[in-house]
Structure 1
């Protein structure tokens, strides 16, 4: 067992608009399974890169372990998987690798296939298996779930539960609860480490915030009362002092003593007031404000919006899944379920009228207005102003939504390509929320999005009941939002 410690850690990018970290301290046991959480743009990936020594910073980081990072950068994906994994973990025996793959339910024949032919989920699993075979290393795992379907997330979570000595950055609440024993959180003003899983941390955080809110109200009342008392005492003291110089026989010594006593009381109140103000200033520095979002779904004139009858997407002349039949009705929120490669995204694109080969019959209602959130954010670039103009959306409404999703005003001045991945996804969701539509078609909308924003979107959907068809592997979101699930089975 050893420790990773940070002292007075401060960092900002040379061309950055704001400081990422300022004088933060932390201490991590290298045997812990750490879940790493924080709102988008707070610096989770930056923090991992600081541990890796990629950036210059102020302060100190003490560590006696070597760090490995996932996702591992594979230079040539056309090479055999076994050759790539030999590069990742050069001292591991083949039997050890096969053992790890069996835990992750990966067939051993993937080792003898070119890496590029593996699915995204298989690539994630084999690289994690190899990285954990580097004995004595501490693994930094950055958002591994974005290429994993729901079943694969369960398998990887169970696998990580077997391990120790890692930091796992993820926004999937169920995934974190299944495999971590500590939470490392980047808050508004500091970095904290707590024992327990995400649910434990979140309950503690809410209790702490409620205590601080109550304490804040109490201190505010005390400060107001002390301010008034100090003012009264000061006025009385001045009046008594003035009375020493009136006409007639006066005991000036007694009056002076009484005046000094009143002044002392006034100073005592001022000291107590200042202490209360200082205590109040320490409260709610990490408070997360989550404002309610709004959406304006349109009501369609017919009960059925879309009908699929024995539909099968086709790629390279091959049928992707078993024929699927279902209807999207007014007010439903349909989750498409199935392993990666089962055609979920293809079905969404068929609703949008994209040119994809398929068999069967798709009927989309006449005049149906759609709002689409794609998986991919790689096409986002340029300024927000250009994005707004290109997509013909209301600028005030769009920026108001982003502000509610924890965008600072300074973010509006940056280029979109400089946003974090979660912030890019929020741009796409904010656009969709600006659009009045009969049907909202969302393809993995929560990839990279922080936990608070996920809860915020859940609350929005539960309040406004938009008709939706979506793909999402976050189990907590699915359980909260979906009114029906459609299972796709690979052919």
Structure 2
């Protein structure tokens, strides 16, 4: 089923055209990514699809009953309700059904004053409503809410916590959770992986893989895209191109298509050159002039191909060092940290050895203290315990994910020039040009820049420092995929040492030689990339399961070593329980026959037309069912004990 058909869509802001003639199709169960540079209009297109923004030309065709859910890039759930009350609001129709069912049950208890026809009508309404309640998830919606809240790392929160007390990132996660519970036909997500740690990302991936509707995503997380999407639409130079497959497949197809277009263009250019030479040589000869004129007409009618253009301009930079550090770059021994006024350490017993050339990724859940650990290394925070020692000739360059190092009231040009006043303006402009700040862009004030532009400016400042130890806190945040790839290449060629925090698993895989997992009581180091770290974590979990099973088995063996008399007593009790279970089976079978007989009698006119008889039979039926339920419950408990 086609959920949405987009034909010839165009959008401009004032005189600036964002994109034109966009064509797109979204079907049930589609998993679609929209990719492109920052500023190409990806978020704008999502807003148009979601119905939150108008468009200039084209048409959008969709079914009237299509439900759409949209998570904006910087969306926060603002509400005066508690976490639980906000989530359960999604299931308001079920709550209304519950109220109606309770009302009907109360009426059924007072059935003595009803006519048989009214009672029959009441029973029918109750049965139909109960069936709808069950089929719509009436018995599982609370567990669904808890599963989503746990997956989004709210399991340690009191669900009665007011949403107004949560941080911005927590409100964004909660907005995502509410959207997932709503289960719209078309789910539109703009950068859904922002504010999510690696564990939450993995949960979200698995949730979306089983999502019942269609999904359209804008994301710079390549690992996430490769896991989820099957169709990629690229916006480049205001046009859109469709590719089938994962993000990695899209890159391969794009490269192959460009190579093919170049070959076709070159072939046509060669053909044109030959025709032009033939015309030039033969147009003046009487014997060949007709052939030359014919070729000229062919050439004039030929539909000439435009030269294929590759990717749009990319940033170009590299990280160099002013001087080489000693082999021992950093030592941390038994480090602990505690916020002022807190009674408990954020983390403790943290030890780490860093050698020259190491590339260490620090991972862990949100709130574990990863950024704080980096600030301890650079001296912005002071440890409560332990020793942090930098090696000989170590020069630190720090990238702050909040870009607090940037001066908001300065221009882009002065942000760099003020730090290096002896350099001439041309050289500063050249450096900024390498980070895609050209012309009048360098005169923009820092506070007017987008997140991606601020990130590039911060990287430019970092490059200028020529430090031999880079401390990077979420360096890929706000960068588009192309800029991430340029940063990766620059870091791979960097001759110094890198310690970084990131939730970008693709980036970690590409850069790191070690993964250090921060826990409350240790920093555990895994020698390898992210995939290796995940593999070792699985092995550890499997070993832990085996060890737990072994402990349980030993406990069972120990419990089984009782005295001979105790064994005899246990066997005797088991035999009694078995006999009781067999008796219950016979009694339940007898009661089920009686229930069937009473239900059969209640269908006969002489019963349901006689109000007193109907009431008597109904009471008897309820009594038999209650007796059967009690026996079934006892039988179930016995079966569990006997198994």
TM-score range, shorter chain: 0.7 to 0.9
1:131 is displaced (CA, Å) by 0.6
**Mapped contact 1:4–1:30 kept (Cα < 8 A):** no
Q: Choose which of 307, 330, 338 in structure 1 pairs with 2:331.
A: 307
- Work out whether 1:42 is the aligned partner of 2:43: no
Alpha-carbon distance between aligned partners in 2 of 1:50 and 1:398, rounded to the nearest angstrom: 39
CA contact (8 A) 1:306 1:329 kept: yes
**TM-superposed deviation, 1:270:** 4.0
Between the aligned partners of 2:22 and 2:448, the Cα distance in structure 1 is 24
Q: Hey, what does 2:350 align to over in structure 1?
A: 324
Match of 2:87 in 1: 85
Q: Distance in 1 between matches of 2:172 and 2:77?
A: 12
TM-score (norm 2): 0.65
Q: Does 1:33 align with 2:63?
A: no
Aligned residue number for residue 536 of structure 2: none
- What is the CA-CA distance between 1:59 and the residue it aligns to? 1.0
Name the residue aligned to 1:470: 500
Whether contact under 8 Å (2:371, 2:473) holds in the other structure is yes
> What's the counterpart of residue 208 of structure 2?
160
Shift of 1:477: 1.3
- 1:445 paired residue among 475, 480, 505: 475
Question: CA offsets per residue over residues 32-85 of structure 1, 9 Å max, x none?
Answer: 122222112212222222234444431134244343322443224x74212333
Alpha-carbon shift at residue 21 of structure 1 (Å): 1.1
Contact 2:7 2:59 (8 Å CA) reproduced: yes
- For the Cα contact (< 8 Å) 1:184–1:191, is it kept in 2? yes
SS in 2 for 1:325: strand
Which of 158, 181, 202 in structure 2 is aligned with 1:133?
181
Match of 2:318 among 288, 294, 307: 294
1:335 partnered with 2:361: yes
- Answer whether contact 2:325 2:356 (CA < 8 A) is retained: no
Distance change in 2, residues 1:184/1:380 (3 Å): farther
Separation of aligned partners in 2, 1:135 and 1:287: 37
Distance in 2, matches of 1:341 and 1:188, equals: 40
Comparing 113-122 with 181-190, which one deviates more in the overlay?
A: 113-122
Residue of structure 1 in register with 2:294 after alignment: 264
> Which protein has the bigger helix share?
2
1:488 aligned onto 2:536: no
Structure 1 residues 435 and 202: alpha-carbon distance in aligned structure 2, compared to 1, 3 A threshold: same
Classify the secondary structure of the residue corresponding to 2:9: strand
Q: Which residue of 2 aligns with 1:182?
A: 231
Find out whether 1:362 has 2:381 as its counterpart: no
Higher relative contact order (CA 8 A, sep 6+): 1
Separation (CA, whole Å) in 1 of partners of 2:289 and 2:265: 34
What's the CA shift for 1:380?
6.1
Range 23-32 or range 34-43, more displaced: 23-32
Distance 1:91 1:375 in 2: 43
Change (3 A) 1:108 1:354: closer
The answer to whether structure 1 residue 111 and structure 2 residue 159 are counterparts is yes
Q: Which structure has the bigger radius of gyration?
A: 2
State the 1:259 CA deviation: 3.4
Q: How far does residue 447 in structure 1 lie from its aligned partner after superposition?
A: 0.9
Q: Which moved more, 1:192-201 or 1:437-446?
A: 192-201
CA contact (8 A) 1:101 1:108 kept: no
Residue 292 of structure 1 and its aligned partner are, at CA, apart by 5.1
Label 1:149 to 1:134 Cα distance change in 2 as closer, same or farther (>3 A).
closer
Cα shift readout 1:257-281 (whole Å, capped 9, x = no counterpart): x534432333324434xx2xx2234
Worse overlay, 438-447 or 217-226: 217-226
TM-score by length of 1: 0.83
Deviations 1:419-445 (A, max 9, x none): 432232122112212221121111000
- Secondary structure of 1:350 counterpart: helix
Partners of 2:391 and 2:237 in 1: CA distance:
47
The answer to whether the 8 Å contact 1:40/1:423 transfers is no
Task: Provide closer, same or farther for how the CA distance between residues 391 and 138 of structure 1 changes in structure 2, counting only shifts above 3 A.
Answer: farther
1:427-483 per-position Cα deviation (integer Å, ceiling 9, x unaligned): 211221222112111100001212222222222222233321111111121122112
**3-state secondary structure, aligned to 2:320:** coil
Deviates more, 1:63-72 or 1:457-466: 63-72
3-state SS of the aligned residue for 2:389?
A: strand
Question: Counterpart in 2 of 1:5?
Answer: 5
> CA–CA distance in 2 between the matches of 1:89 and 1:410?
52
Maintained 8 Å contact 2:6/2:25: yes
Does the aligned pair in 2 maintain the 1:294–1:464 contact within 8 Å? Answer: yes
Aligned counterparts, 1:53-64, within 5 A: 53-62=51-60, 63-64=62-63
Uncovered stretches (5+) of structure 1, i.e. residues with no partner: 241-254
Q: Whole-Å Cα distance in 2 between the matches of residues 323 and 305 of structure 1?
A: 20
**1:258-315 superposed Cα distances (whole Å, 9 cap, x missing partner):** 534432333324434xx2xx2234x33x634557532212333422232211112212
Q: 1: distance between equivalents of 2:27 and 2:440?
A: 36
Question: 1:320, CA displacement in angstroms?
Answer: 1.0
Q: Which residue pairs with 1:67 in the alignment?
A: 68
Shift of 1:417: 4.0
Secondary structure of 1:193's counterpart equals strand
Given that 2:282 and 2:289 are in contact with CA atoms closer than 8 Å, whether structure 1 keeps it comes out as no
Q: Structure 2 CA distance, aligned partners of 1:482 and 1:405? A: 24
Alignment check: 8 A CA contact 1:346 1:356 kept: no
Single out whichever of 84-93 and 305-314 deviates more from structure 2. 84-93
Listed as ranges, the gaps of 5+ residues in structure 2 are 95-140, 522-643
Q: Any conservation in 2 of the 1:297–1:466 contact (CA below 8 Å)?
A: yes
Give the whole-Å Cα distance in 2 for the aligned partners of 1:398 and 1:365: 32
Q: Tell me the distance in 2 between the aligned counterparts of 1:457 and 1:21.
A: 27
| Distance in 1 separating the partners of 2:437 and 2:93 | 45
Distance 2:90 2:441 in 1: 37
Q: CA deviation at 1:118?
A: 5.3
